[in-house]
Amino acid sequence: MDTAQIFLALIAGLFLAPLAVGVITGIDRRITARLQSRLGPPILQPFYDIGKLLGKEAMLANHWLAFCAFIYLAGAVTSVVLFFLQSDLLLIFFVQAAGSVFLVIGALSVPNSPYSQVGAHRELLQIIAYEPLLILVIVGIYMTTGSFQIDAVYAMDQPLLYKMPLLFLVLGIALTIKLRKSPFDISGSHHAHQEIVRGVYTEYSGPYLAIVKVAHWFEIALILGLLSLFWSTSVVGLVLLLGITYFVEILVDNTTSRMTWRWMLRAAWITGITLSTINLLWLYYG
């Protein structure tokens, strides 16, 4: 990549990606409200929420929360920037994984907060559920392109989806868990029906909660970026694929109830690993 391309990649990774996810989140809320016969908030409401949180007084139970919030954000931002720089997928995976752990460490640093403790343990279980699936998807990309570099995917003359349809579904499962949508909203949720309400977010407040929310936007941007690799040969096809996939996520969220962490692990591992194995064997012998 030349200097101009690197500059554009930095702009896209640092600014355009989280802005796009913020808008998508607003559309998500509006569609969800309409499905529930409500008017719903403005599409830009997620940005209003972030602005309101940034304007609040910074109050924390301990300094670990602030440190962990910033490291969580740094890991999420770095992984997205590396993606737009078309870096190594394994490097991107480990960077985002390290950042996710600090969200949990912050929640665990407040021992006298039961909701935070429960949410942190459930968040760890969610990480255990989706991280192996991401690894299997990356392995599938390597078997298809012969490289872990993202630019190897863009060099293909046909969509990755043709060779990895089952792994695309597996990545969709990981996206559902990462979005914290039903039936996987066990560690924390903005929905009122979640029994621990804020869960892993409980002790984050004010500007630090805003930092955590923005970091989550970057994480969603990364997963959507990985999904976009499955149709990298056409911008129109890419947009349609992402649009249909996210709409299905909204439908799943509004038609399923929250399940237990045991069910989540069984569903993610049994379904995800089975589909991945079938697709990887197809790639190996095909």
- pLDDT at position 195: 54
- State pLDDT tens for residues 111-132: 888 888 988 999 999 999 999 9
Half-sphere exposure of 242 (CA within 13 A, CB side): 20
CB burial readout 126-139, b (16+ within 10 A) else e = bbebbbbbbebbbb
Least confident of 16-20, 149-153, 184-188, 214-218: 184-188
Inter-axis angle of helices 206-228 and 45-54, nearest 10: 140
For the whole model, what pTM was predicted?
A: 0.94
- pLDDT at position 187: 82
pLDDT for 162 beyond 60: yes
- Percentage of the chain surpassing pLDDT 70? 97
Per-residue pLDDT, averaged over 210-227, amounts to: 96
- State pLDDT tens for residues 3-15: 888 999 999 999 9
pLDDT-derived band at 2, boundaries 50, 70, 90:
confident
pLDDT for 165 beyond 80: yes
- Full domain range(s) for residue 26: 3-285
pLDDT for 189 beyond 80: no
Q: How many Å is the Cα radius of gyration of the chain?
A: 19
pLDDT for 197 beyond 90: no
pLDDT-derived band at 191, boundaries 50, 70, 90:
low
Q: Structurally, how many domains does the chain consist of? A: 1
Per-residue pLDDT, averaged over 170-185, amounts to: 90
Burial class (CB in 10 A: 0-12, 13-18, 19+), 268: buried
pLDDT-derived band at 85, boundaries 50, 70, 90:
very high
- Residue-averaged pLDDT of the chain: 92
- CA dist 171 and 241 (Å) reads 13
pLDDT for 190 beyond 70: no
- pLDDT at position 175: 93
- pLDDT at position 92: 97
Measured CA distances, 24 to 38, 46, 112, 131, 281 (Å): 18, 9, 36, 24, 35
Beta-ladder partners of 149: 88
pLDDT for 107 beyond 80: yes
pLDDT-derived band at 139, boundaries 50, 70, 90:
very high
Least confident of 190-199, 214-223, 250-259, 266-275: 190-199
